[in-house]
Amino acid sequence: MSDPAYHLRPNKAVDRFAFIEAIKFLQKLNVNLEKYTYYGLGGPYLEDMRLIYENYPKISMISIEEMDRVFKRQKFHKPCGTLKLIKAKSKEFIAQYESKNKKSIFWLDYTELHYPCFQDFFVLLQKVAQGSMIKITLRANPADYIGETDKIKEKYAQQFREEFATILPHPERDPPRTIGELADTIQKMIQRMAQQSLSATTSPLTFYPVSSFYYTDGTGIFTLTGVVWPRNDKPAIEKAFNKWEFANLNWGSPTKIAIPSLSTKERLKLQKYLPCRNFRGTTLRRALGYSIEETEPKTILALEQYAKFHRYFPYFLRGIP
């Protein structure tokens, strides 16, 4: 069975809504969002562009797409007049991009894990203006490096070590075997690339992380959001983001997104018990009165996820066109 359509992936939807909220906290740095431009790899449905427009209608937007068939679908799904569609490869666009001291919000939403993705991030960091936000999303699928035989497994591991040798925290080790461990490794690789791009000896700016997540909607994914800001002004970043539940300001472990499948009726039942601060999974399990997973401990963990992300939980409804 193929993965769900890009715009119908529930954990991806949570990630998008978290990004929208991260942009809201960006305003606490005393910046004017109306002067920002959003750049993204919107895909055929331009879902992130639609959300940006609904929440921040005065932000200008640019979508970058290289495939003809996807570009044609984008023209059909274009949600507003403030969005400009550009047909280009992301690498070429980034190479030609000039900030001209105008602040930007970039979402480098990749579907693969290859070194050129990190190179794009490296180049972009050196070009964006102070106060810009960059979100990078990468594949984090441990199964990509697990072979059917020891020989194939070692081949994949060696390829991984060679490709990422300059940014791996432990270049001699095999690729991690769980999505959480792989996500943590990728985050460390991004941290190293950011430190190389905005070196303390050459730039007064640095890249501060503000959130990071990992999840799977058929394929493992890692995503991290951060802000380019003066190196000597970390307190401003902390003041802006530290009250956000999902803030990750010190390169801590990424947060897992694994929302359960709940009916609308179940969600309405649980709504009056939210938000709750302590023993959230247990509280919602008792309120529901039955398990939604094969065991009660797994049900409690699933409902803990729901309590954590319920504000971002998407509704997918059947409609008659």
pTM for the full predicted model = 0.93
Q: Give a yes or no: residue 1 inside a domain.
A: no
CATH code of the domain covering residue 132? 3.40.50.150
Same domain, 63 and 81: yes
Q: Give a yes or no: residue 113 inside a domain.
A: yes
Q: Give a yes or no: residue 213 inside a domain.
A: yes
Q: In the prediction, which pLDDT does 148 show?
A: 83
> Looking at the 3D structure of the chain, how many domains does it have?
2
Place of tokens 């990071």: 212
Q: Is the peptide bond before 275 cis (omega within 30 degrees of 0)?
A: yes
Q: Give a yes or no: residue 318 inside a domain.
A: no
Same domain, 183 and 278: no
Q: In the prediction, which pLDDT does 34 show?
A: 94
215: Cβ contacts below 8 Å, ≥ 6 apart? 11, 12, 14, 15, 221, 256, 257, 258
Helix (H, G, I), strand (E, B) or coil at 286: helix
* C-alpha torsion 294→276→224→193, nearest 10: -100
Q: Which amino acid is at 160?
A: F
Q: Which amino acid is at 211?
A: S
Same domain, 253 and 275: no
Structural domain range at position 282 = 264-312
Cβ-contact 259, 14 below 8 angstroms? yes
The residue from 236, 257, 278 where one domain ends is: 257
Same domain, 251 and 270: no
Q: In the prediction, which pLDDT does 317 show?
A: 62
The residue from 241, 257, 273 where one domain ends is: 257
Same domain, 150 and 23: yes
Q: Give a yes or no: residue 321 inside a domain.
A: no
Cα gap 51→45, rounded to integer Å:
11
Same domain, 241 and 181: yes
Same domain, 288 and 247: no
Same domain, 177 and 277: no
Cβ-contact 255, 248 below 8 angstroms? yes
Same domain, 300 and 196: no
Same domain, 140 and 171: yes
Same domain, 296 and 236: no
Q: In the prediction, which pLDDT does 147 show?
A: 81
Local mean pLDDT, 10-residue blocks, the chain (321 residues) = 57 96 96 96 94 96 97 96 96 96 97 97 98 98 90 93 96 94 98 96 96 96 98 97 97 97 94 93 97 97 96 74 58
Of residues 20, 42, 43, the one with CA closest to residue 33: 20
Q: In the prediction, which pLDDT does 277 show?
A: 84
Place of tokens 């954990």: 11
Q: Give a yes or no: residue 317 inside a domain.
A: no
Q: Give a yes or no: residue 320 inside a domain.
A: no
What letter would DSSP give residue 35? Answer: G
Of residues 221, 210, 162, the one with CA closest to residue 186: 221
Same domain, 166 and 125: yes
